[in-house]
């Protein structure tokens, strides 16, 4: 049984100009101890997807199953309990911590929400959490502004681990950090996953990071999934024209690799009241008449799904 199953999840926001389709029909299964990477450009709905799964915003449609239980609409009491199992690590460690709380106060905070720990035990728990994430004890009474980005992110991770969750949404946890620190945090997240059997939904726009950390990758474009596949397979054999363009746009720190670049024209169009049909069609070099009517998701090899007419249907030979 998968740890998390999402079926046709939708989240629309009301705006003065109409409905904004932030997440539009996303489905996937995630096994315990695995990582699903979600990639896409800013505004494609990847953060909204993570937040909707956690009920930080209520879904407009679709179903969410957590450990086999339907948690799409749950009451407050159940939700509170559920949140102990589902946590989030935020992108910006500079704004996600309360500037008036010291490190130990910030890490104790979530512990107070349950009655699992007696007053005396809390301190011990905080110490062990700080040790787990690699924060030395002398930082207990430091305030967030006294810490660098990497340490702040460690505090954020300690907070999300406090109640021993099973599933964590990592929303761009390393994007705000320098490369040398980024590698430290990625290693930490991996160690934690191994020792605690954690399940991650890893949201990022950095494709080299996502390849490194994920078992499967879901590529999103304007709220929809365009391709989902095991991580290596996606990089070796990308099929969707958008995935191809996205992968070719990565700058590799190697001067001897000459890569062919697919330069996309234009920019992402508005996700407000989108036209039916493939949302990528306007920028797609292979778009055909059929694309105006929409596309189906097809499994082209085990675990490799693509939503594109050209690949799966009539125009396949033109690729």
Q: Tokens at residue 41, please?
A: 């450009």
Cα dihedral 273/278/284/288 (nearest 10): -120
The strand pairing partners of 201, in sequence order, are 36, 169
Residue 210: CB minimum distance to another protein, A: 9
Residue closer to another protein, measured from CB, 84 or 206? 206
Q: Print the binding letters for residues 257-286 with another protein: x by CB under 8 A, - otherwise.
A: ----x-xx--x-------------------
Residue closer to another protein, measured from CB, 1 or 251? 251
Check residue 14 for interaction with another protein (CB under 8 A). no
The strand pairing partners of 36, in sequence order, are 201, 216
Q: Tokens at residue 77, please?
A: 């009491």
| Rounded Cα–Cα distance for residues 312 and 310 (Å) | 6
Residue closer to another protein, measured from CB, 64 or 227? 227
Near another protein by CB under 8 A, which window of 110-118, 136-144, 183-191, 294-302?
183-191
Q: Tokens at residue 215, please?
A: 């078992």
Residue 179: CB minimum distance to another protein, A: 5
Q: Which of 8, 69, 148, 164 binds another protein (CB under 8 A)?
A: 148
Q: Which of 25, 27, 32, 41 binds another protein (CB under 8 A)?
A: 41
Check residue 136 for interaction with another protein (CB under 8 A). no
Q: Which of 1, 14, 17, 42 binds another protein (CB under 8 A)?
A: 42
Q: Tokens at residue 265, please?
A: 């024209």
Check residue 306 for interaction with another protein (CB under 8 A). no
Which of 163, 138, 164, 162 shows the shortest CA–CA distance to 151? 138
CA distances to 13, 57, 270, 272, 303 from 16, rounded to whole Å, are 10, 19, 14, 10, 39
Residue with tokens 């993570």: 50
Return residues touching another protein (CB under 8 A).
41-42, 148-150, 178-184, 186-187, 190, 205, 207-209, 211-213, 235, 245-246, 248-255, 261, 263-264, 267
């Amino acid at each position: 049984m998968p740890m998390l199953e999402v079926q046709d999840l939708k989240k629309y926001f009301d705006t003065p100009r109409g409905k904004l389709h932030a997440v539009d029909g996303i489905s996937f299964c995630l096994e315990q101890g695995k990582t699903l990477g979600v990639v896409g450009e800013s505004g494609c709905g990847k953060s909204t997807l993570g937040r909707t799964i956690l009920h930080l915003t209520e879904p407009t449609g679709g179903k969410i199953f957590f450990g086999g239980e339907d948690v799409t609409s749950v009451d407050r009491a159940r939700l509170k309990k559920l949140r102990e199992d589902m946590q989030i690590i935020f992108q910006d460690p500079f704004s996600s911590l309360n500037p008036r709380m010291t490190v130990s106060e910030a890490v104790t905070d979530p512990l107070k929400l349950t009655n699992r720990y007696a007053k005396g035990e809390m301190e011990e728990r905080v110490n062990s959490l700080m040790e787990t994430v690699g924060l030395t004890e002398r930082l207990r009474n430091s305030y967030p502004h006294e810490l660098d980005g990497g340490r702040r992110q460690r505090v954020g991770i300690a907070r999300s681990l406090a109640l021993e969750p099973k599933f964590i949404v990592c929303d761009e946890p390393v994007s705000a950090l320098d490369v040398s620190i980024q590698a430290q945090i990625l290693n930490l997240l991996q160690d934690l996953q191994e020792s605690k059997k954690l399940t991650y939904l890893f949201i990022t726009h950095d494709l080299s990071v996502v390849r490194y950390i994920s078992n499967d990758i879901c590529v999103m474009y304007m709220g929809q999934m365009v391709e989902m596949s095991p991580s290596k397979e996606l990089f070796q054999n990308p099929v969707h024209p958008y995935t191809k363009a996205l992968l070719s746009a990565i700058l590799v720190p190697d001067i001897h690799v000459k890569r062919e670049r697919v330069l996309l024209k234009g920019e992402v169009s508005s996700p407000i009241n989108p036209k039916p049909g493939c949302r990528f069609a306007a920028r797609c070099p292979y778009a055909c008449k059929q694309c105006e009517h929409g596309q189906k998701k097809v499994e082209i090899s085990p675990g490799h799904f693509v939503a594109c007419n050209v690949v799966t249907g009539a125009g396949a030979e033109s690729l």
